[in-house]
Amino acid sequence: MATTPQDLTITPRDRRFGRGTKQDRWWMGGDPVATAFYNALSASFPKGEAFFVEAVRAFRDGTPPKLEAEIRAFTTQEVMHSREHVAFNKRALEAGYDLTELEQRIEWRLSITRSRPPIVNLAATMCLEHFTAILAHQLLKNPKHLDKADAESAALWRWHAIEEIEHKGVAYDTWLHATRGLSRWKRWKIKAKVMLFVTRNFVVDRSKGTLILLRQDGITGLKAWRKMLWFAWINPGMLRKILGAWLAFFLPGFHPWKHDDRGLIKLAESDYAAAVLPQPAAA
């Protein structure tokens, strides 16, 4: 069975984006639909990622030292993601969007999950972390997704994607450790059930969020549905493009690092370095 690479290092990158800048209302190339899709996702991050950290840390005690260190690095990364998405969401607010309804829905969804046993919270986190890792992979692999975004926002989303890929095995390994006493079949049954459940909620909630934001732009009814579905499933079709990687989760012997995509991190980091570091003067 695949495992997390021994030589993987999880490096929290303390970066800040878009501070002191005014973000366009439609920061995604003037496209309200693309903007609403990503704004809805961002609205879910601060509370969602705080929940992930809490769910994983509940099982930290007794984990092997390597995993324990990875949980620490994962925590630092997620806390910084929350900080940057709080700032991003504030810019969306300043641009005229009201995210209250979206945030209330997350709160409500998380309160239901939190009422379940800690192991269910860990399972939900493990599934959602797979979800974010495959979204992150697609975001970095296919430049089309962010090519119309303003530079600061694109850098924020790429940075987040890099770190999501880097720590994609942490919740999974914590889950494997926490359920080491269960049979493979029992583990599979739980994770398959939870994955179907959280995927349904994720798609429904983010779609609702996107529609709420579109309504604030005066796009409503069938037109809003059509535009949202087209964007999410057809062109650029983020959800369609992650379908194969989502299905892989159900295969026997699955592990997030069965697919080693650290090459994408390296590539995105060299683009970042080229964009922010002073270039040597031409000879």
Nearest residue relative to Fe ion (C-beta) = 81
Looking at the Cβ atoms of 50 and 120, the one nearer to Fe ion is 50
Looking at the Cβ atoms of 8 and 219, the one nearer to Fe ion is 8
Q: Is 221 left (phi over 0), alpha (psi -120 to 50) or beta?
A: left
Looking at the Cβ atoms of 12 and 236, the one nearer to Fe ion is 12
x-or-dash string of contact with Fe ion, 41-80, rule CB under 5 A: --------x----------------------------x--
> Is residue 158 involved in binding Fe ion (CB under 5 A)?
no
> Is residue 85 involved in binding Fe ion (CB under 5 A)?
no
Apex 118 CA angle, 246 and 194, nearest 5: 25
Looking at the Cβ atoms of 70 and 78, the one nearer to Fe ion is 78
> Is residue 81 involved in binding Fe ion (CB under 5 A)?
yes
Residue 92 Cβ, how far from Fe ion at the closest point, in Å?
18
The dihedral through the CA atoms of 223, 224, 225, 228 has a sign that is positive
Residue 205 Cβ, how far from Fe ion at the closest point, in Å?
17
Say how far apart CA 193 and CA 205 lie, in whole Å. Answer: 18
Residue 32 Cβ, how far from Fe ion at the closest point, in Å?
25
What residues contact residue 157 under an 8 Å CB cut-off, 6+ apart?
38, 139, 146, 149
Per CB under 5 A, residues contacting Fe ion are 49, 78, 81, 164
